[in-house]
A and B are shown apart, each in its own frame.
Chain A
Amino acid sequence: MDFVSGLRCRECGRTYPAEALHVCDFCFGPLEVTYDYERVAASISRERIEAGPRSIWRYADLLPVADAAPVDLGAGFTPLVRADRLAAELGLGELWIKDDTANPTGSFKDRVVSVALTKARQLGFKIAACASTGNLANSVAAHAARAGMESVVLIPHDLERAKVTMTSVYGGRVFAVEGSYDDVNRLCAELTSEQPEWAFVNVNVRTYYAEGSKTLAFEVAEQLGWRAPDHVVVPIGSGSQLTKVAKGFQELYQVGLLDEEPSVRVSGAQAEGCSPVATAFAEGTDVIRPVKPNTIAKSLAIGNPADGWYALDTIKRSGGACTAVTDAEILDGIRLLARTEGIFAETAGGVTIATLAKLTAEGVIRSDERVVAMVTGHGLKTVEALTDVVGPTATIAPTLDSFAEAMAADAATIQRSSK
């Protein structure tokens, strides 16, 4: 049994029943799931969670759907890795990486999709659909297959090859749309009106879907020994993940799982080629101006972010910051994380690490803070970005002489570059 009391408009406060609704009928504001926290508090405990499944479903009491057999490939409970070598390079103290590359389809999207499709199935939907920059496409196609649902996935036509293959292999319908993600998103928002029998995970069941991101905060706190961090760095696409991470820490306190009220600074990471939230933060305005994206961080290339305004508000109220990094810095970020911690992130992870480095250098993120950086997708999804950046040390003949020659040449190169 879930503890949902209903849906509520974040803008005008109108309330709705917990159905397949995502925006307020009156003002088009986003709907938010509301819970009966007193009943949650009476049910939930650290012990019950710790005895639960090693997945997002250990936190079922704080999710918007209850199901003894959820649509599940094992999303969540990913490693929280202490990153001392990266911290040393950046001049930080206690740094942790939330390694969400370890999810079943290689990104944090498995968290939100597992929640969305479990709820969609409960609401009677037989077809799962989405607009996606790639990671969501992978996850919806996989989870739909797992649940025996049909899937219809719409993506921009120019996505990375791995993301297209990782979506198509599951046998659902995949439409490559000649346009940007924002075009795909607009098409899906219109399709939702025409195909009300389809569960578009990030449109008509988005209210439930978005709640899945809270599990990032739940896990971080549990893995830190039921303590909140001081500062988290979260990439911004639509802005939903960032707002839900902040909500997650707050909820844990509200239901009695944290001893102290958390005071988590939340900072946002964007690519310069798509930085509507970082731009608004820098200009000190509340207005998010849509942009036309142009960045290698395609999974964050949302020019008109649905939750941009709320992400900005969350950042400001928490005392965090938001900044944008160049494509070159993103590639440096990917290599820095790989070299120091052995974690291979996709371009969005490069955005997070580069932003972590930049905000640390600017003194925004401090060495006396317990810092967590969200690395939300696997590097194998975006290998193209690194094609001309990394490769073999040398290509050699299968002989000892050839090997010795190549080793000597490389040693000389290293010596030159370190002078």
Chain B
Amino acid sequence: MIKVRIPAQLRTLTGGVGEVAIEGSTVGEVLKGLDATHAGFAERIFDADGGLRRFVNVFLDEEDVRFLDGLATPVTDGQTLSIVPAVAGG
């Protein structure tokens, strides 16, 4: 299972919970799995083409998946995926 950390803005979809566990072998599979168990995630984090929305960052452990292989990045049990609003800092 992959631990997925949910930002405050999306916790209405998880009943207020900040962390859920999801099966999957890639970042994309885990995020789609998240939508399957908690309906509403897909339209919030994916754009019309199925990519991550411009202002959604996803980190596998501490690394931005855009530096890895994006949604195709493989994940293994015990890793943590964090969904984080991109608009911060500076």
Interface residues of A (CB under 8 A from B): 11, 22-23, 25-30, 131, 179, 181-183, 185-186, 188-190, 192-194, 196, 200, 202-203, 206, 237-240, 289-290, 292, 302, 304-307, 309
Give Cα A179–Cα B90 distance, bound, in whole angstroms.
16
Give the interface SS of chain A, mostly helix, strand, loop or mixed: loop
Contact at B53–A194, with CB atoms within 8 Å?
A: no
Inside 8 A of A289's CB, which chain B residues have their CB?
A: 66
Q: In angstroms, how far is the closest chain B Cβ from the Cβ of A198?
A: 12
Contact at A23–B85, with CB atoms within 8 Å?
A: yes
Contact at A237–B62, with CB atoms within 8 Å?
A: no
Contact at B8–A239, with CB atoms within 8 Å?
A: no
Q: Which range holds the interface residue count of chain B?
A: 20 to 34
Please pick, from B7, B9, B12, B87, the residue contacting A190 in the complex, using a CB distance under 8 A: B7
Please pick, from B5, B6, B62, the residue contacting A179 in the complex, using a CB distance under 8 A: B62
Please pick, from B44, B59, B86, B88, the residue contacting A188 in the complex, using a CB distance under 8 A: B88
- Asked if B29 is an interface residue, CB under 8 A from chain A, the answer is no
Among B12, B57, B64, B89, the one with the most A-chain Cβ atoms within 10 Å of its Cβ is B89
- Asked if B50 is an interface residue, CB under 8 A from chain A, the answer is no
List 3 tightest A-B contacts by C-beta distance, closest first. Answer: A238-B90, A185-B89, A193-B8
Contact at B90–A306, with CB atoms within 8 Å?
A: yes
Give the interface SS of chain B, mostly helix, strand, loop or mixed: mixed
Name B67's closest neighbour in chain A (CB-CB): A290
- Asked if B84 is an interface residue, CB under 8 A from chain A, the answer is yes
Known: A185-B88, A189-B84, A238-B89. A29 touches B55 (CB 8 A): yes
Inside 8 A of A182's CB, which chain B residues have their CB?
A: 64, 89
Inside 8 A of A306's CB, which chain B residues have their CB?
A: 86-90
Given contacts A179-B62, A182-B64, A190-B7, 13 further A-B contacts (CB under 8 A): A22-B88, A27-B53, A28-B44, A28-B53, A28-B55, A29-B54, A30-B55, A190-B82, A193-B11, A194-B18, A203-B89, A237-B90, A238-B89
Name B9's closest neighbour in chain A (CB-CB): A25
Give Cα A27–Cα B12 distance, bound, in whole angstroms.
14
Q: In angstroms, how far is the closest chain A Cβ from the Cβ of B48?
A: 11
- Asked if B21 is an interface residue, CB under 8 A from chain A, the answer is no
Question: Which residues of B in the span 19-70 have a Cβ within 8 Å of any Cβ on A?
Answer: 44-45, 53-57, 59, 62, 64, 66-67
Inside 8 A of A22's CB, which chain B residues have their CB?
A: 85, 87-88
Give Cα A304–Cα B89 distance, bound, in whole angstroms.
10
